[in-house]
C-alpha cells in the first residue's frame, strides 16, 4: 500500500473516523449495546438519521432502534460540562428535520416520538469526573422538578478509564486504541501527519480495526487530521482568556479609582476643607471629568 508521510492532509475534510466507523449500522448497534449494557441481536433494525449541514457542527451519529432515538456525540477536546445545553438545539433540530411530520403537529391526535437517549463518547486527555450531565445543572434557579430537562450519559473511552463498555465492544476498544496510539506518537515528537500514519500501521499490524482501516486508509488519515485540528479549541480558549483579562482589568481599574478618590478626599480635608465641602468638590470634579 503506497503512502506518503510528507503529504499534508486536508484539515477541512467533511467527515470523521467516529462518524464513518459507527455510522455503520452493525457498529452502531454494537456501540449502543456496549454503553447501555443492552443485548439487542445483530439483526435488529437500525434506522440511521441522515446528517446535513445544520447538524454537521457536531461529531455525531444518530439512529432509531425500536422506539428509541439514540444519539452519540464524540467529545475529544478539553472537558466541557455544557454538553446538555449544546445538545438542546441539536435535539430540536433532529426531531424537526427527521422525526416529526409537521403536518400532524396541529392536529387533535398526539404525535408520538421515539424516546431520545444522549451519550457523550469522551476521549479527551483530562478525567471527565462525572457519568451524567443534566441541562438543569445550568439553571440559575434550581428546581427539584424542572419543566425542561436533557440528560447526557458520559462514556469515557480512554484505555485506562476502566469503562465497562470497552470490554463489551471490540470496535469501540479498537477505536480507543487508535486514538491513544496517535497521542503517544505525537508525544514522542512525531508530527501529527506522521503520528496518524504510524498509528494506523500499528493497528493494522496488531489486527485492530484491520478491515476498516485497510479499506479506508487514505480517508482515515484525512479524517483524523481534521478531528485533531485544535484551531477552533485554541480560539475559544484565547477568547475566554481575553474576556477574563478584561474583567480583571476593569476590577483593578475600579479598585485603583477608589483608592485615588480616598486619597484626594483625605488631602482636601487635611488642607482645611470640611467633609461636606470636600465631598461636593470631589463629586463635582468626578462629574465633569
Domain boundaries, the chain: 17-165, 240-288
- Kindly list the averaged pLDDT for each block of 10 residues, start to end, along the chain of length 289: 40 68 96 97 92 63 94 83 90 85 87 94 86 95 93 94 95 96 93 92 96 89 72 56 64 61 66 65 61
Residues 6+ away with beta carbon under 8 Å from 177 = 159, 203, 208
Residue 18 and residue 51 in contact, taking contact as beta carbons nearer than 8 Å: no
CA distances in angstroms from 110 to 65, 101, 102, 114, 148, listed in the order given = 21, 12, 12, 13, 19
The length of the chain is 289
pLDDT on residue 140: 95
User: Would you say the pTM of this structure is higher than 0.85?
Assistant: no
3-state helix, strand, coil in the chain (%, to 5): 50, 10, 35
Cα–Cα distances (Å) from 100 to 48, 50, 93, 115, 148, in that order, read 15, 14, 10, 13, 19
Q: Which residues pair with 119 in a beta bridge?
A: 72, 153
Pairing of strands 60-65, 47-48: antiparallel
Grid cell digits, residue 104:
400532524
Per-residue pLDDT at 221? 85
Instruction: Give the C-alpha distances (Å, rounded to integers) separating 149 from 26, 96, 144, 171.
Output: 30, 18, 11, 31
Tell me, what's the pLDDT at 10? 38
DSSP 108: S
Amino acid at each position: 500500500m503506497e503512502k506518503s508521510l510528507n503529504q499534508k492532509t486536508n484539515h477541512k475534510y467533511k467527515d470523521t473516523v467516529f462518524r464513518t466507523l459507527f455510522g455503520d449500522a452493525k457498529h452502531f448497534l454494537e456501540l449502543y449495546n456496549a454503553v447501555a449494557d443492552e443485548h439487542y441481536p445483530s439483526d435488529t433494525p437500525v434506522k440511521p438519521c441522515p446528517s446535513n449541514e445544520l447538524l454537521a457542527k457536531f461529531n455525531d451519529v444518530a439512529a432509531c432502534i425500536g422506539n428509541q432515538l439514540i444519539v452519540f456525540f464524540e467529545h475529544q477536546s478539553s472537558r466541557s460540562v455544557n454538553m446538555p445545553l449544546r445538545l438542546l438545539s441539536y435535539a430540536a433540530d433532529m426531531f424537526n428535520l427527521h422525526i416529526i411530520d409537521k403536518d400532524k403537529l396541529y392536529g387533535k391526535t398526539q404525535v408520538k416520538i421515539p424516546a431520545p437517549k444522549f451519550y457523550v463518547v469522551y476521549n479527551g486527555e483530562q478525567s471527565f469526573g462525572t457519568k451524567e450531565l443534566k441541562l438543569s445543572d445550568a439553571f440559575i434557579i434550581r428546581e427539584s422538578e424542572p419543566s425542561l430537562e436533557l440528560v447526557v450519559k458520559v462514556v469515557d473511552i480512554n484505555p485506562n478509564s476502566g469503562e465497562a463498555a470497552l470490554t463489551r465492544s471490540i470496535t469501540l476498544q479498537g477505536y480507543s486504541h487508535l486514538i491513544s496510539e496517535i497521542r503517544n506518537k505525537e508525544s514522542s515528537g512525531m508530527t501529527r501527519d506522521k503520528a496518524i500514519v504510524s498509528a494506523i500501521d500499528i493497528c493494522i499490524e496488531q489486527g485492530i480495526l484491520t478491515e476498516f482501516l485497510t479499506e479506508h486508509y487514505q480517508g482515515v488519515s484525512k479524517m483524523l487530521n481534521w478531528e485533531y485540528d485544535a484551531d477552533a479549541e485554541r480560539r475559544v480558549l484565547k477568547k475566554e482568556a481575553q474576556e477574563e483579562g478584561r474583567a480583571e482589568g476593569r476590577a483593578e481599574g475600579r479598585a485603583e479609582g477608589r483608592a485615588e478618590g480616598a486619597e484626594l478626599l483625605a488631602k482636601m480635608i487635611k488642607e482645611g476643607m470640611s467633609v461636606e465641602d470636600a465631598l461636593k468638590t470631589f463629586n463635582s470634579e468626578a462629574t465633569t471629568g
